[in-house]
Amino acid sequence: MKKENFIWNAVKMGLLGGAIAIFICLVGMTEIFSKRDVIEKVITLGQFVLLTTIMAMGFIASRRTSDLFGENRPVMNLTAGLVAGLVTGLILALFVFIGLHVNLRTVFLNASPPLYKLLTFGKGEGNIWPLPLIGAGGGMVGAAFLLLPAIYRGPLTRALLFSFFMALFSGLFRVVMINQKGGIAKAAKYLFGQTGLTWAGTFIFFFTVLIIAFLWNFRGKEIQAGISRLPKRGQLSLRILVFLIILYIAIGLPTVSGPFIAQVIVTVALFILMGLGLNITLGFAGLLDLGFVAFYAIGAYTVGLLTSYGPFGLQHISFWVAVPIAVLVAMMFGAILGLPVLGVRGDYLAIATLGFGEIVRLLAGSDFLAKYFGGPQGIIGIQKPCIGTLAPFVKVDVPRVCNGIELGTVQTIYYVAIASALLIAFVAWRLRESRLGRAWMAIREDEDVAEALGINLIQTKLLAYMLGAAFAGLGGAIFATLIGSIFATSMQLIVSINVVALIVVGGMGSIPGVIVGAIALIGLPELLREVSEFRYLIYGLVLIIMMLARPEGLWPSSAAKRELHHADAENVTAESMV
Amino acid sequence: MANILEAKKVTKRFGGLVAVNAVDFNIPEKSIVSIIGPNGAGKTTFFNCITGFGRPDEGEIIFEGNPIQRLRPDQITRLGISRTYQNIRLFADMTALENILVGEHSFLHSSWISSVLGLPGVIHEEKTALAEAQRLLDFIGLRGKGDMLARNLPYGAQRRLEIARALATRPKLLLLDEPSAGMNPRESEDLTGFIHRLRDELGITILLIEHHMRVVMGISEAVTVLDYGEKIAEGTPAEIQSNPRVIEAYLGRGAATEGMATAHERFTGIKKSN
């Protein structure tokens, strides 16, 4: 009876895998990803994604089998994996067979001849039989993975993930390393091919991580104990050393990596600023704001109007003077938004703030206010930050000359962005630990009770809106000087949604969570150009998976962590207190 | 003894329903006073009127000589009235200590800018606040549980923590809404002692809503009975127990004519098993 059960389970997993595989093909992922290699001339990213699906199904089928029997039974497990993979492969083969005889393209744009060519390995119609075979093999490999003892499985997973990570970003590493000339450039050519890892590179990365992870399994505890046994001064200097290394990398990175990576990091830093801002209103005080981009826009436009030498520049003051003003203006608008929505809660608040964001964008881009904000033409000619004095300006429409160091490129504005992000992270942390932070959290938990404990709701909520807006305004100010021009069209609703999403993924109310979320949701898609077409597909998928598997976020706040920690302690204390 | 709180003709309506109807009510300073009444009698609504949760439609509430019926809840709290809730309303995802610290909010004065800058004044203030919170935690017998999330505390401890949080606002008048709900006889006995300590050691006036008649009768110096929003009786516990209108409200009209002795027995008996 059980036997039928597990085979049927495996078939179900195979059907699911087939559906996923066909989906991946039909949305065009397979085709686009095939331009990238994971291992050069061995396996493309497109093939890799399909193979991963098959192996994952094999693994899950295998795990279910173990669950059914209550233990691992290698033969059964492998059979389950084989069946699951085989079914997936068969479905894929069936899909190719149908596709070759029926024109699916009228509905599915991506069901194109190149896709079938890829799936039949370039050999045309008759060649669909490898798919089920590969499926069966892949499924068994996935199933076998479960059978490995945990001590091997952990390091193996890490090594595979790391190699895959290196393969994904191989282009970046290659460019950066080749710029260094000499030995490093040679190493780059050895490790990275044009579109993926070389065989040699794959082996080196895989085995290095495997060995390190394996050793850590045995020796990790000893090393940790060794570090904690060091005298206090030793630990301190170790920490300072780590800090200095990070600082050295952070300072040196933009010059080494070139403008592209610097640009990505600056973008991430700007989103971190916005994320930290929204983290105050949403994460700490629990006030949802779907129009957060408005404050970003206000910061950007303020700097634009104050420093531009273009037709809409009102003043031509230094960037450093304009930034605090922009932050103050953003704060003011935070209060302006906050006042009317003070009594609004929950869903209604989301809609009201959504409206605010759209109003700001539409007004800034409107013909009605075009003589102040440039309308659709936007504001151009925004000054770059200048360390040193600005020469007094002669004519309005000529940029003022910087007598000193001008932070004119992405690589130099990088420092401004990173320093701001760090500063604001510190400010946010201090706020959370303060009396105000506790009041915010109390409001998030229970507004009425918070008020009954002497917290002035109006004042506290307004401060949350204002400080959140201030952080976003700072982000906008840096954005304006980075691009040199601003247009209302760059202040879309999707920016606000991105900010909400990065907070949720990172962990509501957690400051490191904002940073992790920004890197994961903003930085990675920027770096992976091939993926950018499917950005929101993957985005949605990640959000759903996160909400199901890890609702507290990637890096949850200490409160959420404490909760987990105390889940065990709870029983003990409950008994002792009764 | 002077009255710390005087309610005059307090009326609260919800649409057509008169939840509290022209209730006069006095609380003498440093006393322990209870409000009892059947379910839906308007006890909690009356509490809400005092604490500013729902403003009374008519009437006046005077606290230490000042009318407070038009003030916001946070202002009333700062004057010295604090409360607990029928269904525990702790900040569940904050620690026990943080819950108490929120209660101290109105006694801390550092602005957010000085907090960000970490000025010495702020650090000192936080230290004092933490020490005070720790002291309250010890007072309610939760020493060492400060870092636990409120949601993870056992039920009785949550009740006590809610009282500690209310105490952190340094109230002169403490309103307890069914503090012994869900407690076994031993726990409610402990609670009685604890409430006495609040009054005797801290000098706090106490107003209780309570269903446990044993607690009410054992602790109160005066009892007020509400029924359908109206005050139907007032007096010492002994007077209330023998008041025919009260027995009628609790047990129906028949009971009052049945004869006082049996009715009295049933009244206290039923309440005991509650």
Give, to the nearest 10 degrees, the angle between helix A346-364 and helix A319-338: 140
Q: How close, in Å, is residue B116 to chain A by CA atoms?
A: 5
Residue of B nearest to A447 (CA): B91
A562 has a chain B CB within 8 A of its CB: yes
Residue whose tokens read 């007598």: A403
Q: What's the CA gap between A165 and A157, in Å, rounded? A: 12
The string of DSSP letters for B60-85 reads EEEETTEE-TTS-HHHHHHHTEEE--
Chain B residues within an 8 Å CB radius of A430? 115-116, 118
Q: Buried b / exposed e across A161-195, counting CB within 10 Å, b at 16+?
A: ebbbebbbebbbbbebbeeeeeeeeeebeebbbeb
Cβ–Cβ under 8 Å, residues A520 and A545: no
Chain A residues closer than 8 Å to B129 by CB: 435
Q: Return left, alpha or beta for B43; rule: phi > 0 is left, psi -120 to 50 is alpha, else beta.
A: alpha
d(CA B138, nearest CA chain A) in Å? 14
Single-letter residue type at A337: L
State the smallest CA–CA distance between residue B26 and chain A in angstroms. Answer: 22
8-state DSSP, A486: B
Chain B contact set for A438 (CB, 8 A): 94, 98, 101-102, 105
Which residues, given as ranges, of chain B have pLDDT below 50? 261, 270-274
Place of tokens 């990596």: A257
Q: Do B74 and A566 touch (CB under 8 A)?
A: no
Please judge whether A577 and B157 are an interchain contact, meaning their C-beta atoms are less than 8 angstroms apart. Answer: yes
A396 token code pair: 């309005």
Q: Give this complex's ipTM.
A: 0.88
Q: Is B55 on the interface with A (CB under 8 A)?
A: no
Rounded distance, CA A206 to CA A177, Å?
A: 19
Q: For residue B232, what are its two tokens? A: 């139907």
Q: How far apart are CA A366 and CA A377, in angstroms?
A: 10
The contacts of residue B146 (CB under 8 Å, 6+ apart) are B95, B96, B97, B133, B134, B137
Asked if A451's CB is within 8 angstroms of B73's CB, the reply is: yes
Measured between CB atoms, does A464 come within 8 Å of chain B? Answer: no
Task: Report the C-alpha gap between B256 and B239 in whole angstroms.
Answer: 15
Question: What gap in Å lies between CA A563 and CA B223, rounded to an integer?
Answer: 42
- B108 — contact with chain A (CB < 8 Å)? yes
Quickly count: other Cβ atoms within 10 Å of residue A525's Cβ: 18
- Relative orientation angle of helices B120-139 and B155-167, to the nearest 10 degrees: 130
Query: Domains of chain A: which residue ranges?
Result: 1-147, 152-229, 254-493
Q: B181: burial class by Cβ within 10 Å (0-12, 13-18, 19+)?
A: middle
Touching A: B residues 111-170, CB under 8 Å: 112, 115-116, 118, 122, 126, 129, 145, 147-149, 151-154, 156-157, 165-166, 168-169
Q: Do A449 and B89 touch (CB under 8 A)?
A: yes
Contact B105 A435 (CB under 8 A): yes
List chain A residues with CB under 8 Å of B102: 438-439, 441-442, 450, 453, 455
Report yes or no: A448 at the B interface, CB cutoff 8 Å: yes
Cα(A34)–Cα(A49) distance, integer angstroms: 10
Task: Judge whether A125 is closer than 8 Å to chain B, CB to CB.
Answer: no
pLDDT at position A573 is 43
B 9-48 residues inside an 8 A Cβ radius of A: none
Instruction: Identify the CA nearest to B246 among candidates B258, B231, B261, B259.
Output: B231
Chain A residues in contact with B168 by the CB 8 A cut-off are: 453
Q: Torsions phi, psi of A63, nearest 5?
A: -65, -40
Tokens encoding B117: 């800058």
Q: Which helix (H) or strand (E) holds A528?
A: none
Closest CA to B237 of B22, B7, B6, B32: B32
| pLDDT, tens digit (0-9, with 9 covering 90-100), for B34-69 | 999 888 888 999 999 999 988 899 999 999 999 998
Burial class (CB in 10 A: 0-12, 13-18, 19+), A526: middle
Backbone angles phi, psi at A386, to 5 degrees: -130, 125
Sign of the dihedral through C-alpha A294, A295, A296, A297: positive
Output the 3-class SS for A237-298.
HHHHHHHHHHHHHHHHHHHHHCHHHHHHHHHHHHHHHHHHHHHHHHHHCCCCCCCCHHHHHH
Establish if A71 touches chain B: CB-CB under 8 angstroms. Answer: no
Q: Are B145 and B90 in contact (CB under 8 A)?
A: no
Distance CA B112, CA A470 (A): 14
Q: What angle do CA A251, A254, A256 make, to 5 degrees?
A: 100
Q: Shortest CA distance to A7 belongs to which of A69, A56, A52?
A: A69
Inter-chain touch A445–B156, beta carbons under 8 Å: no
Residue A499 to chain B, least CA–CA distance (Å): 24
Parallel/antiparallel/unpaired status of strands A386-390 and A402-406: antiparallel
C-alpha distances out from residue A345 to A351, A356, A436, Å: 10, 15, 20
**B166: nearest CA partner in chain A:** A453
Q: Which two tokens stand for residue A265?
A: 């990091």
Of B94, B126, B154, the CB nearest to A578: B154
> What is the predicted pLDDT for the residue at A566?
47
CA A115 vs. chain centroid, Å, equals: 29
**Cβ–Cβ < 8 Å for A462, A257:** no
Q: Which residues pair with B207 in a beta bridge?
A: B33, B175
Residues in contact with A246: Cβ distance below 8 Å, sequence separation at least 6, in sequence order: none
pLDDT by residue for chain A (578 residues), tens only, comes to: 455 678 888 999 999 999 999 999 988 888 888 888 888 888 888 889 999 999 999 999 998 888 888 888 888 889 999 999 999 999 999 998 888 888 888 888 888 888 888 888 777 666 788 888 999 999 999 999 988 888 888 889 889 999 998 888 888 888 888 877 778 888 888 888 877 888 888 989 999 999 988 888 877 777 777 777 777 788 888 889 998 998 888 888 888 878 888 899 999 999 999 999 999 999 999 999 999 999 999 999 999 999 888 888 777 788 899 999 999 999 999 999 999 888 887 788 889 999 999 999 999 988 888 888 888 888 988 888 888 777 665 556 667 778 788 888 888 899 999 999 999 999 999 999 999 999 999 999 999 999 999 999 999 999 999 999 999 999 999 999 999 999 988 899 999 999 999 999 998 889 999 999 999 888 888 887 777 778 888 888 888 888 888 888 888 876 555 555 544 444 444 444 43
